[in-house]
Amino acid sequence: MSTTRAAPASSGRRAAAGRHEHGTDPDHRRLSWRDRLYRFDMRYMPYVLIAPFFLIFLIFGLFPLVFNGVVALRNYRLDDPTLTGWAGLANFRQLFGDDDFWNALYNTFGIFLLSSVPQLLFALIVASLLNRRLRAQTWWRVGVLLPYVTPIVASTMVFSVFFSRDSGMANWVLGLVGIGGDEPINWRADKLHAWIAIATMVNWKWIGYNALLYLAAMQSIPRDVYEAAAVDGAGPWRQLWRITVPMIQPVIVFTVILSTIGGFQLFIEPMLFDLNSQAATGGPNGEWQTIAQLIYKVGWKDLNLGYAAAMSWALFLIILVVAGINTLLTNRLSGGRSR
Amino acid sequence: MSAVDTAPPSPAVTTSRRRRAALMGRAPQDTPAGIGTYLLLATTMLFAAFPLYWMFVIATSNDEALAQIPPTVVPGDRFLVNLDEVFSLQDVYFAASLVNSVIVSTAVTAAMLFFCSLAGFAFAKLRFAGSRWLMLFVVLTLTVPNQLGVVALYIVMGKLGWNGTLLAVIVPGLVTAFGVFYMRQFIVNTVPDELVESARMDGATTMRVYRSIVLPAIRPALAVLGLLTFVATWNDFQWPLITLGGTDYPTSMVAISDLASGNYVIYRRVLAGAFVATIPLLIMLFIGGRQIVRGIMEGAVKS
């Protein structure tokens, strides 16, 4: 293709070179507006094109993140504008003694474990199912994305009915297999059950999405790897764990990081699972209040933005640490090449 | 299956084609799916679709049907009745919220496509001082979870006087690092350098090159980015709740959460509203499913 274009391109270059010399000719110091425009276009237009991103990001992305640190060190209450000034580390000190914070951290971690591990395991299995020669291949792939396009607000409301104590479908199904029975499970009464209910919503939402990420990686595994495996006599299940998983390890690490970042900012599900959602308490005694939810409550219900900002920073650090640990763990478990 | 494999390949049959056939050493994607695979996939589909179906069932039922044991799984005939109740609730502004969601999602999507393709084009095909560093900066910003700056963002919006207006949810999403990065990758791979150069030699301006060479080539990427952006913006909840909650201008997600608050929640109403707000996305998945799948498989990032 490039060879056929070579001739006209080079002749074009010659023509342009001529024009350029004409422009910088000492006898023609005064540039016409056309040349000015051309120079502006060549030199500055790229910056004009990328400027919107940097403008928006600096004002609404980077600045708030940095400013968040400043707010965390100040008294900043929406209900008492007169109370201002530096608070020093008071907000952070309050954090360490705050039972609500530790409870929310515990909940967030519990829900994260119950959602991320099954989520990624099921995604692997769904991906390996999709990674066959299928009839109507596109439709299967589109089908697993149904949860992905469904608003979490909408699906959480469905699951909220699903997990209701008296007439919920979850209890009915469990009753069929002999669990619960006379005493139906009250999904909103204790931590473990609430966590399971919320984790179910998260799993439902993200399995298909992660499966497609894995599928993409699986399809780029060189075919001869499987030829070699067949010689060793590996069946499909062993093939998945011994060949496919180690080969797609970078993507697995990527999804682990994604689900850590997402899981630790879990907000919609715990908010709307609550029968009294506007309170943002995550259950009568904070059974399933997550950190993101607590930040919302502290900031916009208790109107203490300074403390909410400090909590955001703490969450940021926690996410960094957990994502780091998870990356190391995943590297170990999925047995990829050491790097 | 493995019984065949145990025999060591005789040196006579080393042509890779015959070996593959003999040893079943086919890659999974070359292996036709068996009935078991189809059954498992069908089960997966059932799980994926059931909550949506059940949302519709509840949205079309009356209160008695909801309290029934075993639960109803057949849609009722009260969808319009329930919907009418949702639309006539005074303090929820459901009809307005749908309009708001359309405005916000359309504006954000249009702006994203425009700004991200321009910036992506600049990074992919234009030479300018500092382009490498600036692109590195864009990539680094991908790792910043902006939700963590939400408190300060609220204060910034307060200073601008935008809290409680649609501007607060539109403007921060006008152009994102991911969009720029995605468009850049696509343009690098699809628009040939020679084509841009020869247009340059013919005296085409930057915008002219964008319009007549880049834009026609990146239509598939625009479809992918547009669909993903629209879905993500439509479904966004946390920031819209913070800035628009309690005002007369909610997005549909905020309005649904309003429906779902209070001491006694009427689920057939909530889910009638939720179902209406889900329909546009289901239509998009139906029409643009192929593009959405491609976008995700090419490495789209969770919003």
Residue A16, pLDDT above cutoff 80? no
> H/E/C letters for each residue in chain B?
CHHHHCCCCCCCCCCHHHHHHHHCCCCHHHCECCHHHHHHHHHHHHHHHHHHHHHHHHHCCCHHHHHCCCCCCCCCCCHHHHHHHHHHCCCCCHHHHHHHHHHHHHHHHHHHHHHHHHHHHHHHHCCCCCHHHHHHHHHHHCCCCHHHHHHHHHHHHHHHCCCCCCHHHHHHHCCCHHHHHHHHHHHHHHCCHHHHHHHHHCCCCHHHHHHHHHHHHCHHHHHHHHHHHHHHHHHCCHHHHHHHCCCCCCCHHHHHHHHCCCCCCCHHHHHHHHHHHHHHHHHHHHHHHHHHHHHHHCCCCCC
8 Å CB contact of B48 and A204: yes
The whole-number pLDDT of residue B170 equals: 96
Q: State the pLDDT confidence band at A17, using cuts at 50, 70 and 90.
A: very low
Give me the interface pTM, i.e. the ipTM.
0.86
Tokens matching residue B105: 């999602």
Across the interface, of A66, A208, A235, the residue whose CB is closest to B1 is A235
8 Å CB contact of A319 and B9: no
- Integer angstrom CA distances of residue B51 from A146, A157, A269, B55: 10, 10, 15, 6
Task: Tell me the Ramachandran region of residue A165: left when phi exceeds 0, alpha when psi lies from -120 to 50, beta otherwise.
Answer: alpha
Instruction: Tell me, rounded to whole angstroms, the distance of Cα A255 from its chain centroid.
Output: 9
DSSP classification of residue A27: G
CA distance B182 to B227: 13
Chain B, residues 50-109, CB within 8 A of chain A, namely 51-52, 54-55, 58, 66-71
Tokens matching residue A66: 């940095």
Q: With contacts defined as CB-CB under 8 Å, which chain A residues touch B45?
A: 140, 143-144
Mean pLDDT of the A26-30 span:
54
8 Å CB contact of B171 and A41: no
Q: Across chain A, what does the average pLDDT equal?
A: 85
Q: In this predicted model, which residue has the larger pLDDT, B33 or B106? A: B106
Share of chain B above pLDDT 70, in %: 90
Q: With contacts defined as CB-CB under 8 Å, which chain A residues touch B150?
A: 64, 295, 312
Q: State the pLDDT confidence band at A7, using cuts at 50, 70 and 90.
A: very low
Which of B114, B123, B148, B265 best probes binding to A when mutated, by most A CB atoms within 10 angstroms?
B148
User: Is A129:B37 a contact under the CB 8 Å cutoff?
Assistant: yes
The whole-number pLDDT of residue A240 equals: 83
Q: Which residue has the tokens 């780091």?
A: A324
pLDDT in tens, B173-220: 999 999 999 999 999 989 999 999 999 888 889 999 999 999 999 999
Residue A325, pLDDT above cutoff 60? yes
8 Å CB contact of B257 and A153: yes
8 Å CB contact of A64 and B121: no
Residue B302, pLDDT above cutoff 60? no
Among A99-103, A165-169, B188-192, the minimum mean pLDDT is found in A165-169
Chain B, residues 198-237, CB within 8 A of chain A, namely 198, 200-203, 205-207, 231, 234-235, 237
CA distance A301 to B180: 36
Residue of B nearest to A222 (CA): B27
Residue A228, pLDDT above cutoff 90? no
* Length of chain B, in residues: 303
Q: Which positions ≥6 away from B222 have C-beta within 8 Å?
A: B113, B117
Alpha-carbon Rg for chain B in angstroms = 26
Across the interface, of A67, A261, A278, the residue whose CB is closest to B145 is A261
The whole-number pLDDT of residue A9 equals: 39
Q: With contacts defined as CB-CB under 8 Å, which chain B residues touch A299?
A: 151, 154, 242
> Nearest CA of chain A to the CA of B31: how many Å?
6
Q: With contacts defined as CB-CB under 8 Å, which chain B residues touch A317?
A: none
Amino acid at B252: S
Q: In this predicted model, which residue has the larger pLDDT, A235 or A30? A: A235
Q: Which residues pair with A133 in a beta bridge?
A: B32
Give pairs for B16-19: CB < 8 Å, separation 24+: B16/A227, B19/A227
Which of A36, A60, A152 best probes binding to B when mutated, by most B CB atoms within 10 angstroms?
A60
Spell out the domains of chain B, with CATH numbers in brackets. Answer: 88-297 (1.10.3720.10)
8 Å CB contact of A132 and B267: no
CA distance B261 to B249: 17
The whole-number pLDDT of residue B163 equals: 94
8 Å CB contact of A154 and B55: yes
8 Å CB contact of B156 and A244: no
Q: Does B46 touch chain A (CB under 8 A)?
A: no
CB pairs under 8 A between A and B: 358
DSSP classification of residue A141: H
Q: Which positions ≥6 away from A82 have C-beta within 8 Å?
A: none
User: Is A159:A166 a contact under the CB 8 Å cutoff?
Assistant: no
Phi/psi at B129 (nearest 5 deg)?
Answer: -60, 130
CA distance A273 to A280: 10
Share of chain A above pLDDT 70, in %: 87
CA distance A125 to A111: 22
8 Å CB contact of B44 and A43: no
8 Å CB contact of B55 and A157: yes
The whole-number pLDDT of residue A10 equals: 40
Residue B17, pLDDT above cutoff 60? no
Which of A128, A149, A277 best probes binding to B when mutated, by most B CB atoms within 10 angstroms?
A149
The whole-number pLDDT of residue A234 equals: 67
Q: State the pLDDT confidence band at A263, using cuts at 50, 70 and 90.
A: very high
The whole-number pLDDT of residue B211 equals: 94
The whole-number pLDDT of residue A1 equals: 36
pLDDT in tens, A111-149: 999 999 999 999 999 999 999 889 999 999 999 999 999
Q: Is A35 helix (H, G, I), strand (E, B) or coil?
A: helix
CA distance A118 to A297: 29
Q: Does B33 touch chain A (CB under 8 A)?
A: yes
Residue of B nearest to A297 (CA): B242
8 Å CB contact of A65 and B25: no
8 Å CB contact of A132 and B28: yes
Tokens matching residue B280: 């546009």
Q: Residue A150 belongs to what H/E stretch?
A: none
The whole-number pLDDT of residue B206 equals: 92
CATH ID of A92-333, from 1.10.3720.10, 3.30.565.10, 2.40.50.100, 1.10.760.10:
1.10.3720.10
Q: Which residues pair with A86 in a beta bridge?
A: A74
Q: Is A77 helix (H, G, I), strand (E, B) or coil?
A: strand
8 Å CB contact of A49 and B121: yes
Mean pLDDT of the A319-334 span:
88
Across the interface, of B47, B148, B261, the residue whose CB is closest to A315 is B148
Q: Which positions ≥6 away from A321 have C-beta within 8 Å?
A: none
CA distance B69 to B71: 5
pLDDT in tens, A31-85: 688 888 888 888 899 999 999 999 999 999 989 988 998 999 988 888 877 777 7
Alpha-carbon Rg for chain A in angstroms = 28
DSSP A168-227: -HHHHHHHHTTSSTTS---TTTSHHHHHHHHHHHHHHHHHHHHHHHHHHHHHTS-HHHHH
User: Is B269:B86 a contact under the CB 8 Å cutoff?
Assistant: yes
The whole-number pLDDT of residue A231 equals: 62
CA distance A190 to A199: 14
Residue B25, pLDDT above cutoff 70? no
The whole-number pLDDT of residue B9 equals: 46
User: Is B175:A53 a contact under the CB 8 Å cutoff?
Assistant: yes
The whole-number pLDDT of residue B10 equals: 44
CA distance B278 to A206: 17
Nearest to A265, CA basis, from A211, A330, A318, A188? A318
